[in-house]
Amino acid sequence: MDAYCAEIRKLEGQFYDIEYHHVVRDQNQLTDHLSKLGSSRAAIPPGVFVQDLLVPSIKEDKKVPPAEQLVLTVSSSTADWREQFIKYLTSAEVPTDKTETERLIHRSKHYVLVDGN
């Protein structure tokens, strides 16, 4: 869909004005009916013409991004996400922030310690 929007943006300069109209689904029943026919592979009613698009109607750029952009660094966190729950469940230790405390108390109801684990 982004590629189609980009093509429209390229053509905007060749027209005096472009208007986009949102049609409420309740007022677009014919199109809704046709899309249901297409998705269910039902018989096509007489007077409706079908054109199967076997290739995209726009040309997409097949640029391969440089290797530097493909590398994703994930910071390794030494703190275990379970630590705060374990502290709260064993010693009722809570964070100093009131919002974090409420969040911890609410979420800790989903966890149970079994033999200290």
Domain housing 24: 2-58
Domain membership of residue 14 (yes or no) is: yes
Domain membership of residue 17 (yes or no) is: yes
> Can you give the three-state secondary structure of 59-70, one letter per residue?
CCCCCCCCHHHH
pLDDT digits (tens, 9 = 90+) for 42-100: 887 788 777 777 887 777 766 656 665 556 566 666 677 778 878 888 888 788 888 88
Domain membership of residue 109 (yes or no) is: no
Residue 6, classed as helix, strand or coil, is helix
| pLDDT band (50, 70, 90) for residue 27 | confident
Domain membership of residue 24 (yes or no) is: yes
Q: What is the pTM of this model?
A: 0.32
Domain membership of residue 23 (yes or no) is: yes
> How many domains does the chain fold into?
1
